[in-house]
Amino acid sequence: MDKLIIVKIGGNVIDDDEKCMDFLKSFRAIEGKKILVHGGGKLATSLAEKLSVQQQLVEGRRITDAETLKIITMVYGGLINKNIVAQLQAFGCNAIGLSGADGNVIQAHKRVHASIDYGFVGDVDAVNASLLNNLLQQNITPVLCAVSHDGKGQLLNTNADTIAEETAKALAPFYAVDLLYAFEKAGVLQNANDESTAISELNTQSYAHLKANGAIFAGMIPKLDNAFNALRAGVHKVIIGKAETLTDLINGTSGTSIVHD
* pLDDT digits 0-9 by tens, 158-168: 999 999 999 99
Q: What is the DSSP letter of 74?
A: I
pLDDT band at 62 (very low <50, low <70, confident <90, very high): confident
Least confident span in 32-36, 119-123, 130-134, 198-202: 198-202
pLDDT at 59: 65
Dihedral sign, Cα of residue 20, residue 60, residue 100, residue 154: negative
Q: Quick one: pLDDT band at residue 188, thresholds 50, 70, 90?
A: confident
**pLDDT for res 74:** 96
pLDDT at residue 101, rounded to an integer = 98
3-183+246-252, CATH topology level = Carbamate kinase (3.40.1160)
For the segment 9-18, the average pLDDT, to the nearest whole number, is 89
How far apart, in Å, are the Cα atoms of 157 and each of 194, 197, 212? 32, 33, 31
Residue-wise burial string across 4-36, b where 16 or more C-beta atoms lie within 10 A, e elsewhere: bbbbbbbbebbbeeebbeebbebbbebeebbbb
- Amino acid 50: pLDDT: 92
Q: How open is the CA angle 169-171-176, to the nearest 5 degrees?
A: 95
The Cα–Cα gap between 251 and 247 comes to 6
Mean pLDDT of the chain, nearest integer: 92
CA dihedral 48, 77, 21, 254 (to 10 degrees): 100
pLDDT score for 60 = 62
Residue 191 predicted with pLDDT over 80: no
Task: Determine contact, residues 34/6, Cβ cutoff 8 Å.
Answer: yes
* Domain residue limits, the chain: 3-183+246-252
Q: Confidence band (pLDDT; 50, 70, 90) for 80?
A: very high
First and final CA of the chain: distance in angstroms? 24
Residue-level pLDDT at 195? 81
